[in-house]
Structure 1
């Protein structure tokens, strides 16, 4: 192995890594413990798209579709999508709205401007939750008023609905 001081070529990252590995091996073989702490990485203020996808449990294609629809706007650096804290909050809100039953078109219609603000999305989510709670309450009250224990569900198919009506 060539010593670092004897190396004449360009000191590339791979060459530096090679020398670092060789030095660690030499220290281990000599029985000496390494006292160097691993290099501290700089904390970045923004994360890349892949980190956001992993955090939210979504697919990158879904986020790209949301971006194309105007639901979210990513900052770009060197051609890469960057997700800062505000964009991550909007992504989480859009994901929550989608899970609450909003379509992409409905989310886009929430605001006159695209992408919709986080406050507008929070208000829409709160309104949907209030509506769903009221609908559940109406269903429960209706069941209690009829004296039944379970709500009667209508069949999904028209032919089944006609058969149920004839049987009753």
Structure 2
């Protein structure tokens, strides 16, 4: 199955028990009734196809916030440069079809047509410095709440 739109083209192969029928602008997904995992495959295939159509028409984006003294990000071509408190800057090469933009040095926006690729890039960047529970320093998703701990008592 393939989807083509203003943001590019995506292709995906589906399980052989899944079949698609197109009626004008609508696409219906059906599954072979003899397949044991039929309902799960039907729901998964419907969601994957929907994500492909939305991705090539509107696109997906996630926002990462960087919190910490001296923590910052910069985009240089197809590479994201991160200063995360290590003795060296971290360079992350973006895969094809995914782009990044930085606002105010601490807000990183990852966008692209493939929802899975955007989520994977965000997860790999966040893995360099996940938010810690005492001071809240690290890379977090926008709107993510970090449960804070109290620390030592005297």
Q: Same fold (TM over 0.5)?
A: no
More helix by share: 1
More strand by share: 2
Larger Cα-atom Rg: 1
Instruction: Report 1 or 2 for greater relative contact order, CA contacts < 8 Å, sequence distance ≥ 6.
Output: 2
Q: TM-score, normalised by structure 2?
A: 0.18
